Chains A and B, each alone.
Chain A
Amino acid sequence: MHVSPLSWIALTCAVVAAVIMIYYLIYRPPLNGRVKLLMMVAVGVLPIMTAMIGNLEGLQATEHQAFCGSCHTMDMHIADANDPDSLSLAAIHSRTIKFGDKSCYVCHKDYGMFGYAMTKLGGMGHVYMFLSEYAWYDMEEALPKIHIARPFKNDNCMQCHSTTGRLWNDVADHNGLLEDLRTGTTSCASAGCHGYAHPFSKPDEETPSDAEAHSALPAPSPEGT
């Protein structure tokens, strides 16, 4: 558990507010001007500060794997992403510093002007689906039923892999499918290309073998992609 300095400020505000409120509840001083001023701080100012910092910290928390993995139906996705021996796209990307602990969010978030808000709206949809259906399934029941709400956009891959680098374009399949990849007609994360990001969640016939996945994945290169 990591508690940031901001969280400590929020906690301090909450504790001070709680102490004042408990004092009032125990001693019930008459509500004169001074007590009302004190209570305005305890009921208004300090809780608002706690809430604002809580919002900030809460929204940041939603970007971490621990948040995504707090639904039991995501256990296998998180385990695979953090498996040092896994060759899935999710695991390969999670091992890089740009993704790391935020790999779920970096790959699945919506980019663009309203990306953050749209991502949060999508997250609310996930909460609804979890509460209305998946919460009651164990992992074996849930796994075949879990599917991505919308097809994964190549735009998300292209945030890093610009499709303009020389090394990237030297790959014959990339060059031949350039327009399809840029328009999203052909998915980067499909069985015939780089394989699914979470292959364990797909039926066997749709999942490329390790050898196929290896051959489709060029050696990681920090530049020219």
Chain B
Amino acid sequence: MNPRAKIERFLDNASRSRLMVYACVLGLIGLALMTWSLFDQGWIPVMMAMSVGQGIGTLSFALFLVIVIIDLRQADFRPSITPMPPKPDDD
């Protein structure tokens, strides 16, 4: 199976609520690391906040975007304007 097919299969089968749980857990970890540096400005907290913390936070947001992509793939798009009925003298 090629990578594209794998991704499509994942997007078809993934549970949105589970992805959101992962996003929340990662988001909480990222936020904890980022806020640590606001109070302790030693090199470890500052570097952890600006690298690992933001990396985890980005991953969390990326998972949320995956949920949005899944929704968009499953959305049933309909035109917002209904087609005009044919005029009687058209035929």
Binding site for B on A (CB under 8 A): 1, 3, 7, 10-11, 14, 17-18, 21-22, 24-25, 28, 31, 36, 39-40, 42-44, 47-48, 50-51, 54-55, 57-58, 61-62, 64, 66-67, 70-71, 127
A54/B37 in contact, CB under 8 A: yes
With CB as the reference atom, state the residue of chain B lying closest to A46: B31
With CB as the reference atom, state the residue of chain B lying closest to A28: B17
Chain A contacts for B44, CB-based, 8 A: 70
B38/A57 in contact, CB under 8 A: yes
Chain B contacts for A61, CB-based, 8 A: 37, 41, 46
- Asked if B69 CB lies within 8 Å of chain A CBs, one says no
Other A-B pairs beyond A25-B25, A58-B46, 16, CB < 8 Å? A24-B21, A31-B20, A31-B67, A39-B20, A39-B23, A39-B64, A50-B34, A51-B34, A54-B38, A54-B50, A57-B38, A58-B41, A58-B50, A66-B42, A67-B41, A67-B42
Chain B contacts for A44, CB-based, 8 A: 61, 64
Bound Cα distance A44, B49 (Å): 16
Q: How many A-B residue pairs have CB under 8 A?
A: 106
Chain B contacts for A31, CB-based, 8 A: 16-17, 20, 67
A71/B50 in contact, CB under 8 A: no
Known interface pairs A31-B17, A61-B37; A47-B42 also in contact (CB < 8 Å): no
A50/B31 in contact, CB under 8 A: yes
Chain A contacts for B11, CB-based, 8 A: none
